Chain A
């Protein structure tokens, strides 16, 4: 008959033995550059320690239950009173000192307010929000270029496809990204003045979703709708990119499109309204 305590001790020792072996495995994993072996070695090593320590705690150590007294979490009234009178006796430095007290408050508030000024430094080298949000990098005559930087001609926009364009030289301008889609001009239902903003049935809309600013990712050709990958807003290409599903509430702004002398697609001006997610503005 084996002593039960000895058996428990052996099992705990075995768990720590496993940890030791696992450490060797982890070491081998590191030397061989095998990330999985390294990780498994650590995992097994810690698991061995956990099992051993838990068994040690449960099987070899006194379990109790022990009882500890709880003192009430409130001071006896006398102690409270003693503190109050201690603070009150000569501890009221602000009494009868109105002038210095008021000036102290004034000085600290003034310094506190000025200390907030440097927060404004977080915005440097760029225009203030109102201007930056209201306009994009498109100007009358700016050429449209693809993501590779090459100018885009009307023939590059195939029916059924969606082409992402940027203003020439500003491939980094996220708010200026636009999509070109070619549709049957006869089916386009745009306000009359905006029909002139298309070229041979090519319409340009902002690529930045009016919901939360994700780039429109998909053109559903059969339905002639643009879809945003983030929260599945859907915009109707034929009806001025009106939102027809999902959480977006405003249409994608339309970019006035034209052609320059060399046949390259150009903007005839900036978007008529701010692109992308909405913000606190007169509208």
Chain B
């Protein structure tokens, strides 16, 4: 009762100054289509919220400096040893700050979920053709968000200056160094000298807590503003046309559902943070100039680059008598091409399909077998690269020499994605024009014979 009275008072107060009633009325009546796949981007958004909340707590205790300190916290195995302030403060945060370990783990888990949600959301947009005109802008913004988030994830887990993340930084340094012409200067300017230098941790810190999250927040704002302006797409169905949006209203059903999703994301993040240990930096030990942890895997969202570095043959070549070192092709060119194709995809798709129209109704994936093939190829190719980032562990489990496994994987990453793409193409082609069928109800004959022939047979 009182709340309602206060609410109405506040609404009148603002309306008397900003004349908002009609704007807000349109806003709360905004219609959102009902399909689970439209919530994927929201999972990413709410993971970002979780990251900002937990991350703010962490900044209050972390010391971004590489100067040596003697550790005297409560973790006995390290007591008395010398380490960087960054590492010492992270250990302290984990053992002596109440709630510190929990928030660290929730933060790290949320970062993994954040990037996973981005990838799944991006896949949904890809397979349903949601990037087509007029939504190219949001595709570009979204791909930029993806790249920025990978960079921020890397900056974040490199901060504690532990032995594992230092290994990642070495590789990042060497990859930067491998750039033709500008490599040495680029690496030296970023690291403030030869690896390790003393500047990289404070610099990554500024990037991780200010520059990159600021950029992410701004891009999220643009992404959503464009979304509101353009309204959601929707799947084909009764009454769903290029001139309508069909679904639930923002107020109240959608708002409640979205809040429920926020709480669910928080619940998963805290559940993982409470139960599943992640990045136990105290057991890796502090950075040492001549040591590396083994086995060493990066966080999953960089595993595809790491996998490429492992699999790529030892190729170095000379340009104008100058060395172009081994990490350049797998570490710079491959990721660069990946993002180039991602950015260009709306225009590639348009060139291939010849479809220049505006679309508010989504494709079902089966309507575009070629697009399905490309998507399946990409997911399996990068998935296999990710698997190769753990080739030492896989070799241990399979009890095969790791170099043999590398030789096998070099073939597998080329061949298997092509095979899977062909399967994806055949399945999509068989399902095209049969809206009721799913992969499960398909028969072998449907895959091999073209649809037209089968229809005649019936």
User: Contact residues of A with B, CB < 8 Å?
Assistant: 30, 33, 35-36, 38-40, 42-47, 49-54, 56-58, 61-70, 73, 119-120, 122-126, 128-130, 132-133, 147, 164, 166, 171-175, 177, 207, 210-215, 217-218, 229-234, 243, 245-250, 276-283
Contact = CB atoms under 8 A, between A and B. Distances in A.
Give the most central of A35, A233, A281: most B CB within 10 Å.
A35
A229 B98 contact: no
Contacts of B256: 53-54, 56-57, 61
14 contacts: A30-B98, A39-B270, A39-B273, A46-B270, A53-B257, A54-B256, A61-B253, A64-B247, A172-B289, A211-B314, A212-B331, A231-B310, A280-B179, A281-B322
Interface stretch (B11-19, B113-121, B185-193): B185-193
B352 to A, nearest CB: 24
Given A40-B275, A230-B296, A280-B322, 4 more contacts: A46-B267, A68-B246, A230-B292, A245-B406
A281 B180 CA distance: 9
A129 B230 contact: no
A49 B260 contact: yes
Given A50-B261, A122-B192, A247 B230 contact: no
Nearest to A65: B246
Nearest to B98: A33
Given A119-B189, A230-B296, A246 B324 contact: no
Interface string B91-113: 00000001101100110000000
A129 B244 contact: no
B323 A129 contact: no
A243 B324 CA distance: 17
A281 B270 CA distance: 50
A157 to B, nearest CB: 16
A171 B291 CA distance: 12
B31 A73 contact: no
B183 A279 contact: yes
B341 interface: no
Contacts of B263: 46-47, 49-50, 53
B314 A243 contact: yes
A54 B263 CA distance: 10
Interface string B367-404: 00000000000000000000000011000000000110
B260 A277 contact: no
Residue among B185, B190, B295, B322 facing the most chain A CB atoms (10 A cut-off) = B185
A279 B177 contact: yes
Interface of B: 29-31, 34, 98-99, 101-102, 105-106, 134, 167, 170-171, 173-175, 177-185, 187-190, 192-197, 199, 229-231, 239, 242-249, 252-254, 256-257, 259-264, 266-268, 270-271, 273-275, 288-296, 306, 309-316, 318, 321-327, 330-331, 358, 360, 391-392, 402-403, 406
A15 B406 CA distance: 51
Closest 10 CB pairs of A and B: A39-B274, A278-B325, A229-B294, A129-B184, A277-B174, A57-B256, A53-B260, A46-B267, A50-B263, A43-B271
Contacts of A51: 260
Contacts, number: 291
- Most chain B CB within 10 A, of A38, A119, A233, is at A38
Contacts of B102: 35-36, 38-39
A246 B183 contact: no
B290 A283 contact: no
B40 to A, nearest CB: 16
B290 A177 contact: yes
A279 B325 contact: yes
B289 A130 contact: no
Contacts of B311: 247
A252 to B, nearest CB: 13
A243 to B, nearest CB: 6
Contact of A39 (B173, B187, B275, B295): B275
Given A232-B406, A234-B403, A39 B314 contact: no
B323 A279 contact: yes
A69 B312 CA distance: 53
A212 B314 contact: no
Contact of A64 (B248, B259, B270, B322): B248
Given A166-B290, A214-B292, A247 B174 contact: no
Given A68-B244, A279-B325, A280-B184, A47 B173 contact: no
Contacts of A43: 266-268, 270-271, 273-274
B145 to A, nearest CB: 22
B188 A66 contact: no
A277 B327 contact: yes
A248 B314 contact: yes
Nearest to B319: A280
A234 B177 CA distance: 22
Nearest to B307: A231
A63, A173, A214, A218 — most chain B CB neighbours (10 Å): A214
Q: Which of B174, B183, B189 has the most CB of A within 10 A?
A: B174
B391 A232 contact: yes
A133 to B, nearest CB: 6
B257 A54 contact: yes
